[in-house]
C-alpha cells in the first residue's frame, strides 16, 4: 500500500505536532512564577532595608507553616476517607440494574481515578490551608500569650484565656469539624459509587466496612461537637446579642447549664457510635442522635427563651442588676475608662466682669487659627511653586518659644507632581527629578497678624523662624502623606545632581539641585534589582533609564501610616499622623493600637462608626477599618523619618499584655520607652481615634450605678458639628487649657456632651466636658504621670448651659452679629465660620469661634477678621479675641488673650464697607463702657436700697469713670458727646449695652498671592 503524499513543501522538515501547547504552558508558568518571585523578593529587599526583615520572615513563615498544617489536616483525612472507601468496595453487587449503573460510572471514572483521588484532597487542602493561614495572628498569640493578671467575674479565668486561648480553640474546633464533615461526605460518596452503600426498596444497604467508616466519622464529629458546646459555655461572657454585653441572667442560669449538658450528651452519643461500630447495631446511636437533636432544640433554644420571657422580662432590672454591674466595670476597664476623674461642675451662665482672672494662662493660649481653614492660606503664602502643596487639614502641636509653651498649627510642604505642566509630566521628571517636598511651616495658634494672616514661627525657603532654620533641621520631605508612588534617588560622589530641590531663595526664580544622601530604600544599582522593580511597577523606563545608576535607591510605600502598618501588621493605626521637628529631623508621629473583640463583658464598638465625625467625612483624616473591638490600648508610638523613611516603634504602654505577646513574637522590632528622646516626648499627643472611641462609650458608661444604667435616663451624645451642614459629630480639639483641679495648663484633647440624641432630636444643652491630658513631659524616656489622664466635668442636668449647637444659633441669630457678617460678605467676599471651641473657664463654659473672610478670587485665601465669643446667653463680637472677651465680660474679662497686641491696630476696609477702618476698638470700648455704667447704676441702686451708702458711693465713682470712657470712645468715633448722666439716685440709668459688640470696621478682602 502506498503512503499518501506529503503536504509539506520539498526540503522543509515536518513540524512536530503537539509541542507548541506544552511549550506555551511552560513559558506562561515561568513568566507567572518570575512575576511572583519579583514581588516576593522586592518585599524582602524593602523589609531588609528598613530593618524589619524579622517581621516579614516570621509572619510569612507562620503563614506557610499554618497553611501546610491546614492543608495536611484537610487533605490527608479526605484522601484516606476516599482510599478506605475504595478498598472496602464489595466484589459484586446482587442488583443487576444498580450494578450496571454503577459499572457505567466506575468505567467513566477509572481512567482518571488516581487523579481524582489525589486532586480532590489537594483542592480542598489548598482552600483549607489558605483559610487557616489567615488566622496566623490568633495562632501566634495562642503560643506566645502573656497573662493579664485580671480575671473575669463569671469563671474566674485570666483575661488572656478569652483574648488568646479561646479564639484559637474555637478556630481549631471549627476547622476540624469542617475536616470531618468534608472527609465524611467524600467517604460516603465513594462508598455509594462503588456499591458499599445502596438504596434499595427495603431501605438502605450498607456494608460492614461502610458501617464502621460511618460510625468512626460520626463519633469523631460528635466529640468535636461536644468540645464546641463546651467552648460555648465560655463564649457566653463575650456575648453581644443582649441589651448588655456578657453573660446575663439567662446565660448564667440557662445557657451555660444546657451547653454543659449538651457537651456531655454529645460525648455519650459518640461512645454509642463506637459501640455500634463494634457490635454492628445502630439502634442506640440513632436514638442517641435523635435525643441529642431534640435536647439541643429544647435545652439550647426553647428553655433559655422561656426563662427570658417569663422569668427575666417581668423582673429584668432586679435580675440583671448584677450582670449590668459586670458590664459597666469590664467595659470601663477594657477601654481605659476605669481611672477617669469625674468632677461636678456647677457651671454659671453669668458673664461677670473679671471672670477670667483665674484662667489667665488658658485665655492667653486660646487657639484662633483653625487648622481646617488655613490650609489655603499656607498654600498661597508659603507654597512658592506649583509643585508644592499642603494638606487639606493641618495639625495642632506645641513648641517651646522663649521658655513658654506655644500652641502651633503645623504642616510640611509636600511634593505635588500634579502641579507640573503637561509638558513636564515625563517619567524622568516624575520619578528622577521631582522627588521630595521641602520644609516645615508653623504658625502661632493663639494669634494672627494685624491683617488676619497666620503669624509664622517657621516659614520661607530656605526655612527661617523662631523654631529653627535649614541649618538646625533637615527640611527635605521624601516621605509624607502625599508623596509619589516611587522615586529613584541617589548618585555616586561627584555625579551631577538631578533632583529638583527648592527655589534658591524665597523671591528667586532659579532652582537648586540636590542628591539624596540617606538610606531610604532598596538598591536598584544592579541590573537584577532593576529588572525586579521594573516588573513590580510595570515600567520599562525604570529598567532602561540612564537616570538609574550604581548608587540608586528606590523609595516607595512612603505614607507614614502605611509604613507603620507594614512593619507592625498587628496594630490598628490612628487615622491622623502628624509631623514634628525632633532632634534636627522632621518626623511623623503615628499612634498604634492593640485591639481585641474578645474581652469578657465588654461592650463592642465598631471602629469606623465610633470614630466618624466631620473630619473623616470630609476626608481630612483617614477612616479606620470596619472592625469591631471591645478592648483597645494605645500601646505603640511610632515615628517615621520624613527624610529617609526609617520607622521606629516604641512600647508606649509596656504593660499591655497583647503588646507583650507581640514583643515575644517579634522581639527586636519594638524599642522600650526609655529610648524616646526628650524632644520626642514633648511632641507626643493623646491619640484622636482612641479618644473618639472612649467618648462614644462615655455617653452611657459615665453612669456607674447599675439601676441608673438600666433606666438609661442619663445618657449623653457627642454634639453634631454646628459649622457644617451635614449632621455629623463634632471632632475633638487640641487646646492648651487648665482644667478645674489642675495646677497649671496642659495640652489637652477636648470634647463635650449633650443629652442623648433620639431620632435626630436632642436638647442642645451641655451635660459634660471631657479632656485628655496630652503632656508627656520632656524628659528622655520618662512619661509624665499626668499623661493620658481623662477628666470629665459633669454639669447638673437642671443647669441650662448652652451646647455647641445653641451657641452657634446665638451667633447666627444675633442682630448685630448678622449685620456685621453681612457687611463682611460685601465686596465679593465669603464669610467662613471656624471651629467652635468650648473651654471651661470663668466658672462656666466659654465658646470661641474665629470668623474668616475670603474673597472669591482663585488665588484668595481666608484671613481671620473677627472672633465670636459666648458665655451663657451673652454674645461678644470684635476684631480680636481680647476685645471680644472684654465686650462679653462687661469691659474687663480679667485676662488677656493671645492676640491682645493687635488691639488698636487697623486693617484695610474691604470694598462695599461703610464703617470707618479705625473704629473697631473705639466701638468695642464704647460698648464696654456702657455696660460698665449700666452695671454701676444697678449695683448702686441695690446698695442704696440696703442702706449701704459706702457701697453706693463706690458705685458712683465707677459710674463716673465709665461715663468718661464712653465719652472718650464717642469722641474717637466722631460722635457728638452725649449729656453726662446724673449721679443722683433719681438719675435715669444709661441704656444697657447689648451683649453683642457694636458695629465694627470690616476687614479688607483677602489678599492674593
pLDDT of residue 279: 82
CB atoms within 10 A of CB 232: 18
Nine-digit cell at 118?
489525589
Q: What are the backbone angles phi and psi of residue 889, rounded to the nearest 5°? A: -105, 40
| C-alpha distances out from residue 359 to 44, 737, 770, 895, Å | 56, 8, 18, 7
Distances (CA, A) of 535 to 37, 39, 48: 10, 8, 20
Q: Which of 835, 561, 838 is nearest to 689 (CA)?
A: 561
Note the pLDDT of residue 198: 75
Percent with pLDDT over 90 in the chain? 69
Q: Is the pLDDT of residue 204 over 90?
A: no
Res. 418 pLDDT band, cuts 50 70 90: very high
DSSP string computed for 346-402 = --B----TTTTGGGHHHHHT-----TTTSHHHHHHHH--STTEE--SS-EEEEEEET
Query: What was the pLDDT predicted at 969?
Result: 63
Q: What is the pLDDT of residues 206-258, one digit of tens each?
A: 788 888 888 899 999 999 999 999 999 999 999 998 899 999 999 999 999 99
Which of 1003, 396, 492 lies closest to 731, judged by CA?
Answer: 396
Q: What angle do CA 135, 162, 569 make, to 5 degrees?
A: 35
User: pTM score, two decimals?
Assistant: 0.85
Give the pLDDT band of residue 431 (cuts 50, 70, 90).
very high
Residue-level pLDDT at 78: 95
Using pLDDT thresholds of 50, 70 and 90, give the confidence band for residue 995. Answer: very low
Q: Is the pLDDT of residue 24 over 60?
A: yes
For the segment 625-682, what is each residue's pLDDT rounded down to a tens digit?
999 999 999 999 999 999 999 999 999 999 999 999 999 999 999 999 999 999 999 9
pLDDT at 370 over 70: yes
Residue 917 DSSP code: G
Q: Model confidence over 861-875: pLDDT tens digits?
A: 899 999 999 999 999
Q: Which helix (H) or strand (E) holds 73?
A: helix 53-87
pLDDT digits (tens, 9 = 90+) for 801-856: 999 999 999 999 888 888 888 877 766 678 899 999 999 999 999 999 999 998 87
DSSP state for residue 765 in the 8-state scheme: B
Query: Quick check: 3 pLDDT over 60?
Result: no
pLDDT in the model for residue 17: 53
Q: What is the mean pLDDT of residues 101-116?
A: 73
Alpha-carbon torsion, ordered 645, 651, 652, 653, to 10 deg: 150
> Does the structure show a pLDDT above 80 at 926?
no
460-483 average pLDDT score: 94
Asked whether residue 979 carries a pLDDT value surpassing 50, the answer given is no
HSE-CB at 623 with a 13 A cutoff on CA atoms is 13
Q: What is the pLDDT of residues 721-775, one digit of tens each?
A: 999 988 899 999 999 999 998 989 999 999 999 998 777 666 789 999 999 999 9
- Residue 890's region, left for phi above 0, alpha for psi from -120 to 50, else beta, is left
Secondary structure of 26-72 as H, E, C letters: HHHHHHHHHHHHHHHHHHHHHHHHHCCHHHHHHHHHHHHHHHHHHHH
> With helix as H, strand as E and coil as C, how does 684-750 read?
CCCCHHHHHHHHHHHHHHCCCCHHHHHHCCCCEECCECCCCCCCCECCCEEEEECCCCCCCCEEEEE
Distances from the Cα of 8 to the Cα of 12, 15, 489, 896, angstroms: 7, 9, 58, 102
Q: What is the pLDDT of residue 778?
A: 93
User: How far apart, in whole angstroms, are the C-alpha atoms of residue 335 and residue 19?
Assistant: 66
Region 94-123: mean pLDDT is 73
Give me the mean pLDDT over the 372-398 stretch: 93
- Sign (positive or negative) of CA dihedral 934, 938, 939, 940: positive
**What are residue 442's DSSP bridge partners?**
410, 458
Give me the chain's average pLDDT, please.
Answer: 87
- Rounded CA-CA distance 561/479 in Å is 11
Whether the CB-CB separation of 369 and 452 falls below 8 Å is answered with no
Residue 169 is predicted with a pLDDT of 97
What is the mean pLDDT of the segment spanning 378-386?
91
CB of 102 closer than 8 Å to CB of 28: no
- CB neighbour class for 868 (10 Å; exposed up to 12, middle 13-18, buried from 19): buried
Cell 508621629 belongs to: 589
Phi, psi of 260 (to 5 degrees): -65, -45
| Residue % of the chain over a pLDDT of 70 | 88
Per-residue pLDDT, 1004: 35
* Lowest-pLDDT range of 29-33, 208-212, 546-550: 208-212
| Contacting residues for 702 by C-beta, under 8 A, at least 6 apart | 342, 714, 716, 768, 792, 794
Residue 166's pLDDT band, with cuts at 50, 70 and 90, is very high
Spatial neighbors of 60 by CB under 8 A, at least 6 apart, are: none
Give dist(CA 848, CA 834) in Å, integer. 9
Length in residues, the chain: 1009
Amino acid at each position: 500500500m502506498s503512503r499518501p503524499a506529503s503536504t509539506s513543501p520539498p526540503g522543509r522538515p515536518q513540524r512536530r505536532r503537539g509541542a507548541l501547547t506544552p511549550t506555551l504552558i511552560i513559558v506562561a508558568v515561568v513568566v507567572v512564577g518570575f512575576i511572583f518571585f519579583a514581588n516576593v523578593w522586592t518585599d524582602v529587599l524593602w523589609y531588609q532595608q528598613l530593618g524589619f526583615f524579622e517581621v516579614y520572615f516570621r509572619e510569612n513563615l507562620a503563614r506557610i507553616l499554618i497553611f501546610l498544617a491546614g492543608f495536611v489536616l484537610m487533605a490527608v483525612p479526605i484522601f484516606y476517607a476516599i482510599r478506605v472507601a475504595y478498598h472496602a468496595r464489595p466484589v459484586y453487587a446482587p442488583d443487576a440494574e444498580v450494578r450496571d449503573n454503577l459499572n457505567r460510572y466506575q468505567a467513566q471514572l477509572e481512567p482518571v481515578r488516581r487523579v481524582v483521588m489525589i486532586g480532590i484532597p489537594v483542592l480542598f487542602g489548598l482552600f483549607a490551608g489558605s483559610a487557616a493561614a489567615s488566622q496566623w495572628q490568633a495562632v501566634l498569640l495562642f503560643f506566645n500569650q502573656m497573662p493579664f493578671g485580671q480575671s473575669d467575674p463569671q469563671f474566674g479565668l485570666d483575661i488572656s484565656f478569652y483574648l488568646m486561648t479561646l479564639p484559637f480553640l474555637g478556630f481549631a474546633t471549627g476547622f476540624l469539624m469542617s475536616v470531618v464533615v468534608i472527609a465524611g461526605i467524600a467517604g460516603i460518596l465513594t462508598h455509594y459509587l462503588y456499591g458499599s452503600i445502596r438504596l434499595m426498596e427495603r431501605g438502605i444497604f450498607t456494608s460492614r466496612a461502610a458501617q464502621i467508616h460511618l460510625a468512626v466519622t460520626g463519633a469523631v464529629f460528635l466529640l468535636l461537637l461536644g468540645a464546641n458546646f463546651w467552648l460555648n459555655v465560655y463564649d457566653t461572657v463575650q456575648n453581644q446579642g443582649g441589651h448588655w454585653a456578657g453573660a446575663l441572667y439567662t446565660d448564667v442560669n440557662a445557657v451555660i447549664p444546657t451547653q454543659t449538658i449538651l457537651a456531655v450528651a454529645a460525648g455519650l452519643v459518640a461512645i454509642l457510635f463506637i459501640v455500634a461500630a463494634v457490635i454492628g447495631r445502630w439502634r442506640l446511636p440513632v436514638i442517641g442522635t435523635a435525643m441529642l437533636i431534640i435536647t439541643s432544640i429544647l435545652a439550647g433554644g426553647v428553655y433559655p427563651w422561656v426563662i427570658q420571657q417569663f422569668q427575666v422580662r417581668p423582673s429584668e432590672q432586679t435580675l440583671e442588676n448584677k450582670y449590668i454591674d459586670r458590664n459597666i466595670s469590664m467595659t470601663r476597664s477594657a477601654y481605659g475608662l476605669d481611672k477617669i476623674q469625674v468632677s461636678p461642675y456647677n457651671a454659671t451662665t453669668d458673664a461677670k466682669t473679671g471672670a477670667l482672672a483665674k484662667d489667665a494662662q488658658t485665655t492667653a493660649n486660646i487657639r484662633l487659627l483653625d487648622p481646617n481653614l488655613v490650609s489655603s492660606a499656607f498654600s498661597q503664602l508659603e507654597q512658592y511653586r506649583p509643585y508644592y502643596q499642603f494638606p487639606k487639614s493641618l495639625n495642632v502641636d506645641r513648641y517651646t518659644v522663649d521658655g513658654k509653651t506655644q500652641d502651633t498649627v503645623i504642616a510640611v510642604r509636600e511634593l505635588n507632581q500634579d502641579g507640573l505642566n503637561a509638558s513636564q509630566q515625563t517619567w524622568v521628571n516624575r520619578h528622577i527629578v521631582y522627588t521630595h517636598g521641602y520644609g516645615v511651616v508653623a504658625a502661632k495658634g493663639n494669634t494672627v497678624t494685624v491683617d488676619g494672616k497666620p503669624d509664622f514661627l517657621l516659614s520661607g525657603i530656605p526655612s527661617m523662624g523662631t523654631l529653627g532654620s535649614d541649618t538646625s533641621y533637615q527640611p527635605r520631605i521624601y516621605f509624607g502623606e502625599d508623596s509619589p508612588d516611587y522615586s529613584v534617588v541617589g548618585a555616586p560622589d561627584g555625579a551631577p545632581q538631578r533632583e529638583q530641590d527648592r527655589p534658591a531663595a524665597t523671591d528667586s526664580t532659579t532652582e537648586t539641585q540636590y542628591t539624596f544622601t540617606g538610606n531610604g530604600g532598596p538598591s536598584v544599582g544592579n541590573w537584577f534589582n532593576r529588572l525586579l522593580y521594573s516588573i513590580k511597577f510595570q515600567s520599562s523606563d525604570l529598567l532602561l533609564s540612564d537616570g538609574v545608576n550604581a548608587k540608586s535607591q528606590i523609595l516607595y510605600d512612603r505614607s507614614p501610616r502605611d509604613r507603620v502598618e507594614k512593619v507592625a501588621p498587628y496594630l490598628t493605626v490612628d487615622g491622623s499622623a502628624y509631623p514634628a521637628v525632633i532632634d534636627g529631623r522632621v518626623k511623623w508621629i503615628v499612634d498604634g493600637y492593640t485591639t481585641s473583640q474578645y474581652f469578657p463583658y465588654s461592650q463592642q464598638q465598631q471602629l469606623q462608626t465610633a470614630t466618624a465625625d466631620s473630619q473623616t467625612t470630609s476626608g481630612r483624616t483617614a477612616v479606620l477599618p470596619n472592625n469591631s473591638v471591645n478592648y483597645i490600648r494605645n500601646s505603640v508610638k511610632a515615628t517615621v523619618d520624613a527624610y529617609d523613611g526609617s520607622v521606629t516603634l516604641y512600647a508606649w504602654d509596656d504593660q499591655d499584655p497583647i503588646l507583650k505577646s507581640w514583643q515575644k513574637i517579634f522581639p527586636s522590632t519594638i524599642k522600650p520607652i526609655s529610648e524616646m528622646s526628650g524632644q520626642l516626648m514633648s511632641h507626643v499627643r493623646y491619640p484622636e481615634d482612641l479618644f473618639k472611641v472612649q467618648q462614644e462609650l462615655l455617653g452611657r458608661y459615665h453612669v456607674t450605678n447599675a439601676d441608673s444604667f438600666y433606666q438609661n435616663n442619663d445618657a449623653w451624645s457627642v454634639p453634631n458639628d454646628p459649622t457644617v451642614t451635614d449632621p455629623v459629630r463634632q471632632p475633638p480639639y487640641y487646646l492648651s487649657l487648665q482644667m478645674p483641679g489642675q495646677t497649671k495648663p496642659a495640652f489637652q484633647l477636648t470634647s463635650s456632651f449633650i443629652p442623648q440624641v433620639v431620632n435626630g432630636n436632642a436638647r442642645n444643652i451641655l451635660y459634660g466636658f471631657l479632656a485628655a491630658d496630652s503632656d508627656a513631659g520632656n524628659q528622655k524616656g520618662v512619661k509624665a504621670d499626668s499623661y493620658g489622664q481623662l477628666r470629665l466635668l459633669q454639669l447638673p442636668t437642671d443647669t441650662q448651659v448652652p451646647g455647641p449647637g445653641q451657641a452657634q444659633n446665638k451667633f447666627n441669630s444675633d442682630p448685630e452679629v448678622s449685620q456685621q457678617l453681612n457687611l463682611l460678605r460685601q465686596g465679593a467676599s465669603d464669610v467662613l465660620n471656624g471651629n467652635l471651641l468650648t473651654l471651661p473657664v470663668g466658672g462656666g463654659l466659654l465658646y470661641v469661634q474665629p470668623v474668616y473672610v475670603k474673597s472669591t478670587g482663585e488665588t484668595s485665601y481666608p484671613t481671620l477678621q473677627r472672633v465670636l465669643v459666648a458665655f451663657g446667653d451673652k454674645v461678644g463680637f470684635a476684631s480680636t479675641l481680647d476685645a471680644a472677651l472684654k465686650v462679653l465680660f462687661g469691659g474687663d474679662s480679667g485676662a488677656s488673650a493671645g492676640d491682645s497686641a493687635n488691639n488698636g491696630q487697623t486693617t484695610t476696609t474691604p470694598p462695599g464697607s461703610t464703617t470707618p477702618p479705625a473704629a473697631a476698638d473705639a466701638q468695642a470700648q464704647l460698648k464696654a463702657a456702657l455696660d460698665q455704667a449700666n452695671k454701676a447704676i444697678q449695683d448702686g441702686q441695690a446698695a442704696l436700697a440696703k442702706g449701704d451708702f459706702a457701697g453706693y458711693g463706690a458705685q458712683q465713682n465707677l459710674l463716673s469713670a465709665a461715663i468718661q470712657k464712653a465719652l472718650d470712645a464717642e469722641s474717637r468715633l466722631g460722635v457728638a458727646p452725649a449729656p453726662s448722666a446724673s449721679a443722683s439716685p433719681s438719675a435715669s440709668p444709661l441704656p444697657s449695652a447689648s451683649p453683642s459688640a457694636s458695629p465694627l470696621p470690616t476687614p479688607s478682602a483677602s489678599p492674593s498671592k
